[in-house]
Amino acid sequence: MEKVKTAVVGCGMISNIYIKNLKNLFSIIDLVAVADIDPAAAKEKAECYGVSRVMTVDEAAASPDVELVINLTPAYVHYGVIKKMLEAGKHVWTEKVMTVTVNEARELCALAERKGLYLGVAPDTVLGAGIQTARRALDTGMIGEITSGLAVINRNQSLNAEVFTFLRGKGGTLPYDVGIYYIGALLCLLGPVKSVKAFGAPAPAHEPQFLFRNAGAEPWQIPGCGVLSASLRFRCGALVSVLFDGNTVNASQHTLTLFGTRGILKVGDPDTFGGRNTLLYADQQECALPFTHGYDGSNTLYPTPFDFYGHRGVGAAEMAYAIRQGRPNRCGREYGLHCLEVLEGMERSASAGETVELDTRFAMKPLKPGYYSSFMGGLSRADAELSLKD
Ligand SMILES: NC(=O)c1ccc[n+]([C@@H]2O[C@H](COP(=O)([O-])OP(=O)(O)OC[C@H]3O[C@@H](n4cnc5c(N)ncnc54)[C@H](O)[C@@H]3O)[C@@H](O)[C@H]2O)c1
């Protein structure tokens, strides 16, 4: 299969793990260039990871050597970057969230469709070993019909915005920045949501605390709801309670539990690729499920400080195979749009005090099982990459 010539746009924190993985793990990707609005940032990553070309964003858009753009810019600039690249005829993979409003996302989806281009959207943690194993457990009926669920995550998002400064802008609240992993996982496991009812509270005005990073900084308030408590009715019938609290402390109480007619599945942390799932049946001991899929987040090929971020890039690689095979990709534009419609629906319901009905839909096929081997420092990939190819 011909490799897909790819450029990364946005050379900040998360680009470290993307560039390392795109260069080493996925034989379908040919990483030809990196670009950033700040040329020094692009130059630094090119030198650090051995990428042969540094481009400006306009050069990447105009280059016939680039087929696929991987957008790793902050959420509030996604719309402009994605639009520019689609208009230039590039396929686009974007980090989450697709944009910061559903209206912008709808416009980009329509543009991609009109141009016959792929638009793929993170979170791609849903293609990791943890969530794909959970999906297999559900698809094979291990807990019967899902009746309900519970999803919880908490942090001190305003404090975290001191270090990750892009979080101070639109799309920086905990629901958009981290809750999205829980929404993505729920969608992958249960399908589309029909309606949403929620209560919310704003993020606090935040006084800078890490003075060494914030000398002279004014207080800020992340726009949107810092806390959202919601009920989601899925089209499959499941009722799921969601609590995202960004106004508390950084002692994360991750919970993602699905209750079924035959058993209970405790799903591993969806903000990682290798969250372990456990199964509960009546009158038996809780039991851990072995992974049925690869991409468990273990990154053993020459260690870097960013390996914690796991197998990011797997969604872009799966999309590259989809491009060559002429089939829909799993983390496609409809998935990205629906994720955003759920998040925005929760905020709209909280401010209007009404139930919000959602109108977008999506479908996501599970991956074939595939094993990721850490043998020989991860160079031996076993059949995990084959699982990305239909
Ligand atoms: N940091 C994380 O832990 C993390 C984890 C997963 C996903 N993400 C997502 O990845 C994306 C980037 O996050 P990050 O932490 O790398 O942010 P960052 O601020 O470290 O890096 C963003 C980069 O984008 C560049 N940029 C800004 N505007 C641009 C534009 N218009 N054109 C080209 N380049 C532009 C900046 O110069 C910077 O180098 C966000 O969507 C975020 O939600 C971040």
Residue 17 is predicted with a pLDDT of 97
Tell me which fold the domain 126-295 belongs to. Answer: Dihydrodipicolinate Reductase; domain 2 (3.30.360)
The Å distance, Cα 208 to ligand 1 centre, comes to 21
- Alpha-helix runs per DSSP H in 125-244: 129-139, 157-163, 174, 180-190, 211-214
pLDDT by residue (tens digit) across 75-120? 999 999 999 999 999 999 999 999 999 999 999 999 999 999 999 9
Positive or negative: CA dihedral 327, 330, 332, 335 = positive
- Beta bridge partner(s), residue 171: none
Q: Decide: residue 368, CB within 10 A, 0-12 exposed, 13-18 middle, 19+ buried.
A: middle
The Å distance, Cα 76 to ligand 1 centre, comes to 10
| Contact of 57 with 35, CB cutoff 8 Å | yes
Residue 381 is predicted with a pLDDT of 62
Q: How confident is the model at residue 360 (pLDDT cuts 50, 70, 90)?
A: very high
CATH 3.30.360.10 domain position(s) in the chain:
126-295
Residue 165 is predicted with a pLDDT of 87
19, 81, 166, best to mutate for ligand 1 pocket (most atoms within 8 Å of CB): 166
Please list every protein residue whose CB sits less than 6 Å from any atom of ligand 1. 9-15, 36-38, 41, 57, 72-75, 77, 81, 95-96, 164, 166
Residue 161 is predicted with a pLDDT of 93
Q: How confident is the model at residue 373 (pLDDT cuts 50, 70, 90)?
A: confident
Look up the pTM and report it: 0.96
Q: Decide: residue 382, CB within 10 A, 0-12 exposed, 13-18 middle, 19+ buried.
A: middle
CA gap 233, 322 in Å, rounded: 31
Atom of ligand 1 nearest to the CA of 14: 16
Per the listing, tokens 């009404």 go with 354
The Å distance, Cα 261 to ligand 1 centre, comes to 42
Q: Which protein residue has the closest C-alpha to ligand 1 atom 40?
A: 74
CA gap 224, 237 in Å, rounded: 29
Atom of ligand 1 nearest to the CA of 122: 7
Residue 379 is predicted with a pLDDT of 65
Peptide bond into 123 cis (omega under 30): yes
The Å distance, Cα 191 to ligand 1 centre, comes to 29
Peptide bond into 267 cis (omega under 30): no
| Contact of 56 with 29, CB cutoff 8 Å | no
Q: How confident is the model at residue 378 (pLDDT cuts 50, 70, 90)?
A: low
Q: What is the CATH number of domain 4-125+310-333+361-388?
A: 3.40.50.720
Residue 372 is predicted with a pLDDT of 81
Task: Tell me the mean pLDDT in the region 352-367.
Answer: 97
| Contact of 55 with 36, CB cutoff 8 Å | no
CATH 3.40.50.720 domain position(s) in the chain:
4-125+310-333+361-388
Residue 302 is predicted with a pLDDT of 83
Task: Please count the other Cβ atoms lying within 10 Å of the Cβ belonging to residue 369.
Answer: 17
The Å distance, Cα 122 to ligand 1 centre, comes to 13
Residue 376 is predicted with a pLDDT of 72
Rounded to the nearest angstrom, the gap between the alpha carbon of residue 151 and the centroid of all alpha carbons in its chain is: 16
Q: Which protein residue has the closest C-alpha to ligand 1 atom 8?
A: 14
CA gap 241, 149 in Å, rounded: 6
9, 36, 44, best to mutate for ligand 1 pocket (most atoms within 8 Å of CB): 36
CA gap 205, 172 in Å, rounded: 14
The Å distance, Cα 78 to ligand 1 centre, comes to 9
For residue 344, which of 92, 77, 99, 75 has the smallest C-alpha distance? 99
| Contact of 370 with 382, CB cutoff 8 Å | yes
Task: Please count the other Cβ atoms lying within 10 Å of the Cβ belonging to residue 236.
Answer: 13
| Residue 174 predicted with pLDDT over 90 | yes
Q: How confident is the model at residue 207 (pLDDT cuts 50, 70, 90)?
A: confident
Residue 194, H or E segment:
strand 193-202
| Residue 188 predicted with pLDDT over 80 | yes
21, 44, 73, best to mutate for ligand 1 pocket (most atoms within 8 Å of CB): 73
pLDDT by residue (tens digit) across 288-342? 999 999 999 987 778 899 999 999 999 999 999 999 999 999 999 999 999 999 9
The Å distance, Cα 46 to ligand 1 centre, comes to 16
CA gap 210, 243 in Å, rounded: 28
Residue 209 is predicted with a pLDDT of 84
pLDDT by residue (tens digit) across 211-264? 677 767 889 999 999 999 999 999 999 999 999 999 999 999 999 999 999 999
Q: Which protein residue has the closest C-alpha to ligand 1 atom 17?
A: 12
Q: Which protein residue has the closest C-alpha to ligand 1 atom 38?
A: 12
Q: How confident is the model at residue 375 (pLDDT cuts 50, 70, 90)?
A: confident
Of the chain, the percentage scoring pLDDT greater than 70 comes to: 98
Residues with Cβ < 8 Å from 124, sequence gap 6 or more? Answer: 312, 313, 314, 315, 316, 318, 331
